[in-house]
Structure 1
Amino acid sequence: MIMSLDGFVNDRDGELGKLYASFEPNEEINAVMARTGAVILGRRTFDLAEADSYGVDYEFQVPIFVVTHHPPAKHPKENEQLTFTFVTDGVESAIRQAREAAEEKDVLILGVDVFRQALKAGLVEELQIAIAPILVGKGLRLFEQLDDFEISLEKLQVIETSQQVEIWYKVLR
């Protein structure tokens, strides 16, 4: 997840471009991609891209589980590595299915609402946050709506690129 220094994962217009302007692929990001065996998306995150483009352009060519109340009318194109499962019975079910599909590899969660649900349910083991060098002032905050939760973290790793800082945390239970 890329977040502005003031805690937003998109700007006041719902756009992500300014946050990703400083993104630089690095060895650790490439390693994360290689260790990923399945991806969980929220429906809004899924809808950010053209559905049929995932099978061609998406960096994670793995099974994708989309948490939603309303699956799309038309199932998106898939390929040998990338398949879609639309999960309508909650984030816990999506995580269970994704872990099974990933086998020994990691499950990556993308999407603020799905991430918050998983974090509240105690299903997140690690956080990886890249901090973009920008203050956007308004938008969608990553850690909002966690008022009733206190979550302790242990820093695992910090990577500095020329423009941003990436921090890995272990979620302590």
Structure 2
Amino acid sequence: MARVCVGMVVSLDGFISDRNGELGKLYASFKPNAKIKEMMEQTGAVVMGSNTFAMSKNPDAYADNYEFQVPLFVLTHHPPAKHPKENDNLTVTFVTEGIESAVQQAKAAAKDKNVVVLGANVSQQLLKAGMVDELQIAIAPLLLGSGIRLFAHLEDLEVQLEKLRVIETAEQVEVWYKVLK
């Protein structure tokens, strides 16, 4: 059965974007090695929020060069008027029925592979709902000072984690945790 995995690159001080909402500095050091690529190949579907989806200035570009060529499930209140380009592997489904529906649809599409969750707001919602199985946190070698925090708005939530693995690349460290229920 598909596991729900929050997967993000964060600065050492916990931000997933800089003060201008840009990701470039974080991903400048993200160079997946063979182990990380192998783990990425275990992704069967992606759930993301509309803000994360909109970060691509050209939504049609997902079909051409997105790192995950799998079905995408975009949580939104307002689907775009024009549906983005798709291909044989990458489809885009705009989900307006809530986070539970997005995860159910993604799990069905992923089959035995993982569902990767991208975006701070969606990740926070899933953590609050107790629907996250693993956290996959790649720590970028920089301090941003401000921006969007991955683990903001979780004041009343305590989550116990168990370390599963640590993968080191030349530039960063990626830590995988199991979320204990």
Cα-to-partner distance string for 1:16-41 (whole Å, 9 max, x where unaligned): 11111111111222112211111111
- TM-score, normalised to structure 2, is 0.93
Distance 2:68 2:140 in 1: 22
Distance 2:39 2:78 in 1: 30
Give RMSD over aligned pairs. Answer: 0.8
Cα-to-partner distance string for 1:7-60 (whole Å, 9 max, x where unaligned): 111111111111111111112221122111111110000001111111111111
Residue number among 8, 17, 33 corresponding to 1:10 in the alignment: 17
- How much does 1:153 deviate? 0.3
Q: Where does structure 1 differ by over 3 angstroms across 4 or more consecutive aligned residues?
A: none
Q: Is 1:160 equivalent to 2:168 in the alignment?
A: yes
Distance 2:167 2:142 in 1: 18
Match of 1:111 in 2: 119
Classify the secondary structure of the residue corresponding to 1:51: coil
- The answer for unaligned runs of 5 or more in structure 2 is 1-7
- TM-score, normalised to structure 1, is 0.98
Identity %: 63
Distance 1:66 1:158 in 2: 29
Residue number among 76, 82, 95 corresponding to 1:74 in the alignment: 82
Aligned residues: 173
Residue number among 66, 69, 75 corresponding to 1:58 in the alignment: 66
- How much does 1:133 deviate? 0.9
Q: Is 1:94 equivalent to 2:102 in the alignment?
A: yes
Judge which range, 137-146 or 25-34, deviates more. 25-34
Q: Is 1:169 equivalent to 2:180 in the alignment?
A: no
